[in-house]
């Protein structure tokens, strides 16, 4: 009986923290003042979080910020000119799953206040003229369709025309299913444009953030002269769920993290977001 | 293996064969009966195959008896030497390649290979290449470029392999690299989807000056099953997903995402492989003749411009 009880204890031992927080310990976080870390649940002032480049003061977790925050972090004096702000999705396939595609787009535009999953802009970074494209995960999981492809293509054209380096910040689940064949071909389109950028001998830096998978990592995401990433970002071709289902086994700890990719030779370095601007400037000054 | 919509046709064909055996064929009345029976079968076939749903075409594209990459190569080449390995890690059996001669012209053939028996399927990893497969393909393309030989890629894959080792060795990087490098290869590239063309795993060898699809194949960003599981949260909506994805050769040509369709024998490539090989060879040579006339610089800029013009949006 004793053995049995011991076993019973083992069954119910909590092995991961943060699964359940008792009601009395739950803290209400009023909007607009406090930020609660998505990872360690640490509570900090929003101002502090922002000053810390939207990373947790306690655990260093990099919050999934979007183009607005990156542009603000990277462009000098937060001054930039947005490129092609008005391109938005059409519905070439008349796609409908549980919802018509255009309705999905409309809802995403309303909730995210974005036109699509990527914004591009030019400005200066520590005095260096630069063109930056940045994905917005808040818009249908940062999925890449015709709009994302076209905006990258045009941002690269702008870089070539004005001889600026190009930075692309990826955060995406991959290609957008609702544009099927069109989404797939954006992989080719962006890769082709980046080949032209390379021919012009202009630097392309690809910053991979959490998460970057599928058609995005398998095209422009991995094609940087420098591929860099934020700490602990999930980066891969297939998503972890798909791999787990395919091989029928649990995945090793730390699998597909930025650190794992660095170790396997697919990243040049990992950079903390607080150091991002400074590091980019250092690298670009040496390359240009 | 018979698909649902093939059954009635095969039943009639079996009946016909039996009639031919039992009836006295010197009798003109019997001859007429046979003739009209044959006519009926032909009409049923035409009606069936002209009205296939998108899902039925997906089924045909995966038919177990369908010719695979090496079948085409062996059927149309007078000589073929298979080449192996990516010179980095391994030889991927899911991606085959080599030099072949067709009507006196040497081509570099590259393609995903599926297996027919259980053992072969495992060996070929169901046509799902690992990073070394894509790197082998790129090595062979560069070899072709060096010796000025045109490239033919045959696409037949349910996707690039999603496994731990594939991720470890950079599946995403390998595919991305191939897509970009294919824009720089200074010889004509003809890409032909002969079965399944799933996502980046297909595109990784499909950046062609001409991209052609066999009549009963599919090419899209995701398989109907996976699309169903993600968007409908169930595997049961694959038919709807196939319809929504507009993934057939006819759809893709309509959207100008491919350059042409290669017709298959009535009933699909597997019903008459010999005829299929002849059609395939004819289209391949014609396409090559057309591309051979284009100066290299123009060929490359046309290749880039074609893919860069793909996309539909509102501004």
Tens digit of each residue's pLDDT (9 = 90 or more) over A32-59: 789 999 999 999 999 999 999 999 999 9
Could you give phi then psi for residue A170, rounded to 5 degrees?
A: -100, 140
Select the residue of A214, A242, A264 nearest B170 (Cβ to Cβ).
A264
> Distances from the Cα of B259 to the Cαs of B35, B102, B191, in angstroms?
39, 22, 10
A27 CA: distance to closest CA in chain B (Å): 33
pLDDT given at position B110: 98
| The residue to which tokens 């010197």 are assigned | B26
Alpha carbon distance, N-terminus to C-terminus of chain A: 74
For residues B148 and B176, is the Cβ–Cβ distance under 8 A? no
| The residue to which tokens 């502090």 are assigned | A48
A194 CA: distance to closest CA in chain B (Å): 8
Neighbours of B290 (CB within 10 A): 13
Select the residue of A95, A247, A266 nearest B164 (Cβ to Cβ).
A247
**Does residue B118 sit within a domain?**
yes
pLDDT given at position A3: 47
Does ipTM exceed 0.85? Answer: yes
Same domain assignment for residues B73 and B165: yes
Residue of A nearest to B303 (CA): A192
Helix (H) or strand (E) holding B261: strand B260-262
Whether pLDDT at A268 is above 70? yes
Whether pLDDT at A13 is above 80? no
**Does residue B26 sit within a domain?**
yes
Structure tokens at B131: 């990073």
Asked if A177 and B227 come within 8 Å (Cβ–Cβ), the reply is yes
Could you give phi then psi for residue A116, rounded to 5 degrees?
A: -160, -165
Percent of chain A at pLDDT > 70 equals 89
All structural domains of chain A with their residue ranges: 65-287
Residues of chain B in contact with residue A92, where contact means CB-CB under 8 angstroms, are 255, 312
> Distances from the Cα of A2 to the Cαs of A6, A12, A13, in angstroms?
6, 16, 17
pLDDT given at position A23: 66
Select the residue of B161, B184, B220 nearest A195 (Cβ to Cβ).
B184
Cα A133 to Cα A226: distance, rounded to the nearest angstrom: 15
Using DSSP's 3-state secondary structure scheme, residue A18 falls into coil
Q: Which of A7-11, A271-275, B57-61, B199-203 has the lowest mean pLDDT?
A: A7-11
Using DSSP's 3-state secondary structure scheme, residue A110 falls into helix
Neighbours of A99 (CB within 10 A): 13
Cα B129 to Cα B157: distance, rounded to the nearest angstrom: 8
Same domain assignment for residues B63 and B44: no
- A·B CB contacts under 8 A: 190
Residues of chain A in contact with residue B167, where contact means CB-CB under 8 angstroms, are 236-238, 243, 255-256
Same domain assignment for residues B184 and B272: yes
Residues of chain A in contact with residue B308, where contact means CB-CB under 8 angstroms, are 153, 189, 192-193
Same domain assignment for residues B43 and B137: no
Helix (H) or strand (E) holding B80: strand B79-82
Structure tokens at A28: 């209400």
Residue-wise pLDDT for B220-241, tens only, equals 999 999 999 988 888 899 999 9
Containing structural domain, residue B298 = 56-308
B304 CA: distance to closest CA in chain A (Å): 6
Segments of A98-155 assigned E as strands: 118-125, 128-135
pLDDT given at position B2: 87
Structure tokens at B182: 């294919």
Could you give phi then psi for residue B113, rounded to 5 degrees?
A: -120, 125
Identify the CATH number of the domain in which residue B196 sits.
Answer: 3.90.226.10
Same domain assignment for residues B29 and B75: no
pLDDT given at position A1: 41
Domain A65-287 in this protein, CATH class: alpha beta
Same domain assignment for residues B94 and B26: no
Per the DSSP assignment, residues forming a β-bridge with A229 are A208, A270
Same domain assignment for residues B20 and B128: no
| DSSP at B160 | S
Cα B141 to Cα B152: distance, rounded to the nearest angstrom: 9
Helix (H) or strand (E) holding B142: helix B131-146
Whether pLDDT at A4 is above 90? no
Whether pLDDT at B256 is above 70? yes
Closest by CA to B226, choosing from A185, A191, A214, is A214
**Does residue B315 sit within a domain?**
no
pLDDT given at position A10: 59
pLDDT given at position A29: 56
For residues B61 and B195, is the Cβ–Cβ distance under 8 A? yes
Residue B286, burial from CB neighbour count under 10 angstroms (0-12, 13-18, 19+): exposed
Residue-wise pLDDT for B186-206, tens only, equals 999 999 999 999 999 999 999
Using DSSP's 3-state secondary structure scheme, residue A153 falls into helix
Asked if B171 and A218 come within 8 Å (Cβ–Cβ), the reply is yes
Report the domain count for chain B: 2
Summary mean pLDDT of chain A: 92
Summary mean pLDDT of chain B: 96
Whether pLDDT at A202 is above 70? yes
Whether pLDDT at A30 is above 70? no
Structure tokens at A169: 């910040």
Same domain assignment for residues B99 and B15: no
Closest by CA to B139, choosing from B185, B188, B207, B94, is B185
Q: Which of B128, B177, B179, B211 to mutate to test the interface with A (most CBs of A within 10 A)?
A: B179
**Does residue B313 sit within a domain?**
no
**Does residue B41 sit within a domain?**
yes
Residues of chain A in contact with residue B172, where contact means CB-CB under 8 angstroms, are 213, 217-218, 221-222, 235-237
A44 CA: distance to closest CA in chain B (Å): 36
* DSSP H helix total and E strand total for chain A: 10, 10
pLDDT given at position A2: 43
Same domain assignment for residues B10 and B139: no
pTM of the model: 0.93
Same domain assignment for residues B180 and B61: yes
The stretch B50-79 carries a mean pLDDT of: 97
Cα B69 to Cα B93: distance, rounded to the nearest angstrom: 12
**Does residue B314 sit within a domain?**
no
| The residue to which tokens 């298959």 are assigned | B264
Structure tokens at A97: 């799953």
Closest by CA to B191, choosing from B87, B92, B84, B108, is B108
Pairing of strands B151-157, A204-212: unpaired
Q: Which of B186, B307, B309, B315 to mutate to test the interface with A (most CBs of A within 10 A)?
A: B307
Same domain assignment for residues B45 and B116: no
Q: Which of B14-28, B111-125, B154-168, B190-204 has the lowest mean pLDDT?
A: B14-28
Closest by CA to B171, choosing from A167, A148, A141, A215, is A215
The stretch A116-142 carries a mean pLDDT of: 98
Residue of B nearest to A145 (CA): B311
């Amino acid at each position: 009986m004793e053995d049995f009880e011991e076993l019973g204890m083992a069954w119910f031992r909590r092995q991961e923290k943060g699964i359940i927080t008792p009601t009395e310990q739950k803290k209400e976080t009023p909007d607009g003042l406090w930020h609660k870390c998505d990872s360690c649940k640490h509570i900090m002032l929003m101002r502090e979080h922002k000053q810390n480049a939207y990373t947790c003061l306690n655990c260093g977790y990099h919050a999934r910020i979007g183009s607005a925050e990156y542009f603000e972090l990277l462009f000098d004096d937060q001054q930039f000119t947005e490129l092609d702000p008005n391109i938005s999705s059409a519905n070439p396939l008349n796609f409908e799953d549980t919802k018509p595609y255009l309705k999905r787009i409309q809802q995403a535009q309303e909730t995210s206040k974005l036109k699509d999953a990527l914004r591009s802009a030019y400005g200066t970074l520590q005095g260096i003229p630069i063109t930056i494209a940045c994905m917005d995960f808040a818009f249908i999981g940062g999925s890449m369709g015709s709009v994302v492809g076209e905006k990258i293509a045009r941002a690269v054209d702008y870089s070539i025309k004005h001889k600026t380096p190009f930075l692309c910040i990826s955060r995406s689940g991959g290609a957008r299913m609702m544009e099927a064949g069109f989404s797939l071909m954006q992989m080719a389109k962006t890769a082709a444009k980046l080949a032209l950028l390379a021919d012009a001998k202009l630097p392309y830096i690809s910053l991979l953030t959490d998460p970057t998978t599928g058609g995005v990592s398998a095209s422009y995401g991995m094609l940087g002269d420098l591929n860099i990433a934020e700490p602990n970002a999930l980066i891969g071709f297939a998503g972890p769920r798909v791999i787990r289902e395919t091989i029928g086994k649990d995945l090793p700890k730390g699998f597909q993290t930025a650190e794992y990719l660095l170790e396997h030779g697919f990243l040049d370095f990992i950079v903390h977001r607080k150091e991002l601007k400074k590091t980019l400037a250092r690298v670009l000054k040496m390359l240009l | 293996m018979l698909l649902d919509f093939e059954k009635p046709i095969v039943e009639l064909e079996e009946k016909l064969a039996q009639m031919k055996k039992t009836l006295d064929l010197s009798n003109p009345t019997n001859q007429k009966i046979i003739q009209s029976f044959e006519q009926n079968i032909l009409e049923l076939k035409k009606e069936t195959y002209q009205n296939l749903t998108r899902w039925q075409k997906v089924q045909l594209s995966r038919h177990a008896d369908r010719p695979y990459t090496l079948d085409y190569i062996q059927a149309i080449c007078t000589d073929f030497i298979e080449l192996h390995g990516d010179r980095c890690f391994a030889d991927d059996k899911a991606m085959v390649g080599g030099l072949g001669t067709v009507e006196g012209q040497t081509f570099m053939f590259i393609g995903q290979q599926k297996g027919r028996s259980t053992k072969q399927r495992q060996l070929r990893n169901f046509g799902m290449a690992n990073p070394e497969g894509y790197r082998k393909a790129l090595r062979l393309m560069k070899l072709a470029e060096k010796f000025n030989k045109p490239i033919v890629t045959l696409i037949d894959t349910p996707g690039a392999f999603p496994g731990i080792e594939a991720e470890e060795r950079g599946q995403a990087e390998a595919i991305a690299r191939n897509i970009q490098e294919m824009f720089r290869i200074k010889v004509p590239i003809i890409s032909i989807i002969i079965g399944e063309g799933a996502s980046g795993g297909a595109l990784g060898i499909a950046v062609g000056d001409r991209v052609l699809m066999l009549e009963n194949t599919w090419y899209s960003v995701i398989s109907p099953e996976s699309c169903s599981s993600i968007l409908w949260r169930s595997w049961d909506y694959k038919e709807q997903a196939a319809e929504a994805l507009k993934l057939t050769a006819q759809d893709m040509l309509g959207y100008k995402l491919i350059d042409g369709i290669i017709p298959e024998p009535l009933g699909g490539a597997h019903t008459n492989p010999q005829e299929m090989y002849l059609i395939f060879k004819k289209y391949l040579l014609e396409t090559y003749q057309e591309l051979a006339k284009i100066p290299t610089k123009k060929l490359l800029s046309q290749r880039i411009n074609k893919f860069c013009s793909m996309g539909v949006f509102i501004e």
